[in-house]
Amino acid sequence: MPRTHDDTWDLASSVGATATMVAAGRALATKDPRKLIDDPFADPLVRAVGVDFFVKMIDGELDLSTIPNASPARVQAMIDGMAVRTKFFDDYFSDAMDTGIRQAVILASGLDARAYRLRWPAQTVVYEIDQPQVIDFKTTTLADFGAESTAQRRTVRIDLRADWPTALREAGFDAAAPTAWLAEGLLIYLPPEAQDRLFDNITALSVPGSTIATEYVPGIRDFDADRVREMSAPLREQGVDIDMASLVYAGERNHVVEYLRGNGWDASGISREELFRLHDLEVPVIEEDDDPLGEIIFVSGTLSG
Ligand SMILES: C[S@@+](CC[C@H](N)C(=O)[O-])C[C@H]1O[C@@H](n2cnc3c(N)ncnc32)[C@H](O)[C@@H]1O
């Protein structure tokens, strides 16, 4: 179904299902013997959402022969990709807290359980922003598990295309304190102008010393929707409500690092390939034809004074 300006979802549908997909990746990366990351909540959260395909995925019970381009090597590359991504942003928060920041905002938090699993310094407040059904599901499910947050967790149930800065302030956000911002796995689901607005809003809410982290996909410019639709058809036949071709906003958009620099952020990027090398993981050889989004650049930066 095509996107609309006010579309909504839960964790089994549309953009929401992508949160379950990446949580399944974290669940598998957590089981990986190399132990680059540890997200003990990913597995039970994916089971609680209950999409059969993702449950089979974390149980290693998928019939790869029914999924296009899904060789064991590609599955391992996906798991390793989630591992380096999660580690990059876990380390980002740890470094930000080391600078004395005690306020974090996780935009598009999905099934991110950092507010329950990272060791936050005392008094740290972590805000999570996502659509209401997504926020409510995670809050209720983790409470049912008896999980306790490791920071003061405050939720903001709102669409990021609406006036989220006002909702964030109403939840107690202190714009005078430095903030560690995270927008992980979000930008491709926002139209280009909404991406710019997101960074404009973040900048307006940030004092010098605040930090930001995100990732971007240069290949979004040439994203071939028809090819992706063709590739993901077998997944939909297996009940996965993720049609990336219609979820993603393709075409020209501002370069994230340059845009942030233009807004006063001392930002830089590192490619996923470099992260694989940094963590001694085998760099996957992926044909462009098999991976329409291609390379991912992980970005972090600090707002200059
Ligand atoms: C790929 S998931 C990433 C979730 C989480 N950041 C992670 O990495 O595990 C995309 C998330 O973006 C959220 N999202 C996308 N567009 C949004 C919007 N306009 N408003 C609120 N949330 C949005 C979805 O609900 C979903 O949780």
Distance of CA 305 from the midpoint of ligand 1 (Å): 30
Is residue 184 within 8 A of residue 215, CB to CB? The reply is: yes
Q: Which mutation among 21, 131, 298 tests ligand 1's pocket best, with the greatest number of atoms within 8 A of CB?
A: 131
Our answer on whether the CB atom of 112 is closer than 6 Å to any ligand 1 atom is yes
Q: Which of 89, 189, 215, when mutated, tests ligand 1's pocket best, judged by the most ligand atoms within 8 Å of its CB?
A: 189
131 CA → ligand 1 middle, Å:
8
101 backbone dihedrals φ, ψ, rounded to 5°: -65, 140
Give every CB contact of residue 96 below 8 A, 6+ residues apart in sequence: 104, 180, 211
Give the model's pLDDT for residue 235. Answer: 75
Structural domains present in the chain? 14-303 (3.40.50.150)
* Residue 221, pLDDT score: 74
Q: Which pLDDT tens digit goes with each residue over 236-294?
A: 777 777 777 788 888 899 999 999 999 999 999 999 999 999 999 988 876 655 665 67
Q: Ligand 1 centroid to 185 CA: how many Å?
A: 7
Residue 295 has a pLDDT of 87
The atom number, within ligand 1, closest to the CA of 183 reads 6
Annotate 90-107 with b (16+ C-beta within 10 A) or e (fewer).
Answer: bebbeebbeeebbbbbbb
**Closest residue by CA, ligand 1 atom 23:** 108
Ligand 1 binding pocket includes 24 (Cβ within 6 Å): no
> The tokens 């306020």 sit on which residue?
103
Q: Tell which residue, 23, 16, 182, 28, has the closest CA to residue 90.
A: 182
**pLDDT tens readout for residues 120-132:** 999 999 999 999 9
**Residue 165 CB–ligand 1 contact under 6 Å:** no
Closest residue CA from atom 27 of ligand 1: 110
Ligand 1 atom closest to Cα of 111?
9
Residue 86 CB coordination number (10 Å): 23
Would the CB of 15 count as within 6 Å of ligand 1?
Answer: yes
Atom nearest to 22 CA in ligand 1: 9
Spatial CA neighbour of 287 closest among 71, 63, 32, 67: 71
Reduced 3-state DSSP string for the chain:
CCCCCCCCCCCCCHHHHHHHHHHHHHHHHHHCCCCCCCCCCHHHHHHHHCCHHHHHHHCCCCCHHHCCCCCHHHHHHHHHHHHHHHHHHHHHHHHHHHCCCCEEEEECCCCCCHHHHCCCCCCCEEEEEECHHHHHHHHHHHHHCCCCCCCEEEEEECCCCCCHHHHHHHCCCCCCCCCEEEECCCHHHCCHHHHHHHHHHHHHCCCCCCEEEEEECHHHHHCCHHHHHHHHHHHHHCCCCCCHHHHCCCCCCCCHHHHHHHCCEEEEEEEHHHHHHHCCCCCCCCCHHHCCCCCCEEEEEEECC
Instruction: Tell me, in angstroms, the distance from the centre of ligand 1 to residue 249's CA.
Output: 14
Q: State the pLDDT at residue 13.
A: 83
pLDDT score at 210: 98
Give pLDDT < 70 ranges for the chain: 1, 68, 286-293
How confident is the model at residue 292, as a pLDDT?
A: 59
